[in-house]
A and B are shown apart, each in its own frame.
Chain A
Amino acid sequence: MIPEARDFPAPAALRPWRLLSNPQDWNCVIFHFICLTAYACAFWLYLHPEVAGITGPWSRIAFVLASAMVLGWISGIDVGVNFHNHSHRPIFTSQFLNRWFGRIWTFSGGWPSFFWEYCHVTIHHANLLSAADWTLPKHSADGKFENFQRYLFTHWPWRLSMHLWKDFTARQTLRRRSFRELAIFLALWSIPFWIDPVMAVWLWALPHWIANAFVMNSGMYVQHAGCVPKTPAKPVSHSTVFVSNLFNLTMFNIGFHSEHHDHPRVHWSELPELHERLKRDLIDGRAHVVPFGNYHAAFLLAGDDARQQGFAEQDSRYKTTR
């Protein structure tokens, strides 16, 4: 846990014997264990090819492709959205559990938990859309982001590693802690390689690349594309709000992104209610609100100018009448 998250006080009503900070956080735990189960199933079938009928090279390729795509998809959500909740509001009442569950949470997405928290909370949230926010795509002063595909393929792990190396080696306390966390991560992350190195490349490392490049990076891109830093004149133009009910149901309400950035300590399950309360302010402040989720937004922003125009369109329910 980074200090900011670790020191966050538990709710007053909390009983010392309670395991979770919020009863809704069972959803986070269940989600993560289902993800680990999915990896275990894929590994087992790969190691027992006769069971799945993948004894030939082409059938094995088909299995690996299907598995890697869905594993990458869910790992991107598991770290980029699910663990993300934990980085703002630790889900357990025990600090020990928070630290260790965090470590076994992000290793299946290709990240040491401390590294992800540092990028997201210390860099992204504290410096949103400023020059110091190196987690976002490179952008000009008017908010125009670099090319979508360039960000997807160059950010993780290349640019990230460079920035993290600079930050972590600059301060002794960070350096010591980051090396310790990296060692724990490598010990956990290497487990599939000890079982079967070829399997680990295709059903472990490849899904992690898909999770980071296509799910997490595209999410970061669409959440802030075309946005500008928060100012008194433009208080809610720093993030796009995605109001698709299905998207928010399956993605821990991450679509309410403007609300999340303005109130990062609000629990993920309470974001729809907060959104309703702030709806008038969003409309009056001309917040960018779209009726779909991150996935369709990524599809639009990956296209030509005509397709990108579809992303810029405002949800009709959130158009200002003034």
Chain B
Amino acid sequence: MGRLLRTYVSPIGLVFGRSFFPLFAIVIIVGAALWGPWVSLGVTVVAIATALRSL
């Protein structure tokens, strides 16, 4: 099980981790069609504020 995690889960996690910001951007943009543009705008502002405060 540990070997399986190291072989597959860890590299996949790294790919998602390294592409976190563009994936987040797609969620924000496409998400506007699901939950509306105001929610996307609000989440974006909160995300930028969080990055500036802690990243």
The chain A residues found within 8 Å of chain B, CB to CB, are 26-27, 30-31, 34-35, 37-38, 41-42, 45, 51-54, 59-60, 62-63, 65-67, 69-71, 73-74, 77-78, 244, 246-247, 249-250, 252, 292-293, 295-296, 298-299
* A71 engages B18 (CB within 8 Å): no
Distance, CA A53 to CA B33, complexed state (A): 7
SS class of chain A's interface: helix, strand, loop or mixed?
A: helix
Q: Are A38 and B29 in contact (CB under 8 A)?
A: yes
B18 and A38 contacting across the interface, CB-CB below 8 Å: no
Are A38 and B32 touching (Cβ within 8 A)? Answer: no
Known: A27-B14, A246-B55. A34 touches B29 (CB 8 A): no
Contact of A67 among B15, B22, B28, B43 (CB under 8 A): B28
CB distance from A136 to the nearest CB of B (A): 22
A71 to B28, CA, bound (A): 10
With a CB–CB cut-off of 8 A, which chain B residues contact A250?
Answer: 17-18, 20-21
A303–B41 Cα gap in the complex (Å)? 25
- Give, as a whole number of angstroms, the nearest-CB distance from A87 to chain B: 18
Q: How far is the CB of A270 from chain B (nearest CB, A)?
A: 14
Bound-state Cα–Cα, A58 to B35, Å = 16
- CB-defined interface of B2-22 with A at 8 Å, one 1/0 digit per residue? 000000000000110111111
Residues of A within 8 A of B22 (CB): 31, 34-35, 37-38, 74, 77-78
B15's contact among A30, A53, A78, by CB below 8 Å, is which? Answer: A30
Q: Which residues of B contact A252 (CB under 8 A)?
A: 18
When A45-B32, A70-B29 are in contact, do A298 and B21 touch as well, CB less than 8 Å? no
- A59 and B25 contact, CB distance less than 8 A: no
Sample of 5 more A-B contacts, CB < 8 Å, known A62-B41, A246-B55 = A27-B18, A66-B41, A296-B51, A296-B54, A296-B55
Q: A63-B40, A244-B55, A252-B18 are in contact. Are A52 and B33 (CB under 8 A)?
A: yes
Across-interface contacts of A34 in B (CB, < 8 A): 19, 22-23, 26
Q: B54, A292: Cβ atoms under 8 Å?
A: yes
Residue of A with least CB distance to B40: A66
Residues B37 and A66 in contact, CB atoms below 8 Å apart: yes
In the complex, what residue of chain B is closest to A253 when comparing beta carbons?
B18
Q: Which residue of B lies closest to A36 (CB)?
A: B22
**Nearest CB on B from A235, distance (A):** 28
* 15 chain-A/chain-B pairs, Cβ below 8 angstroms: A34-B22, A41-B30, A53-B33, A59-B38, A62-B40, A63-B37, A67-B28, A74-B21, A74-B25, A77-B21, A78-B22, A249-B14, A249-B18, A296-B51, A296-B53
Min distance, Cβ B31 to any Cβ of chain A, angstroms:
9
**Which residues of B have CB within 8 Å of A63?**
32, 37, 40-41
Q: Is the CB of B15 within 8 A of A27?
A: yes
CB distance from A41 to the nearest CB of B (A): 5
What residues on B are CB-neighbors of A45 within 8 Å?
A: 29-30, 32-33
Provide the bound-state CA to CA distance between A38 and B19, in Å: 12
- Closest Cβ of chain A to B21, distance in Å, is 5
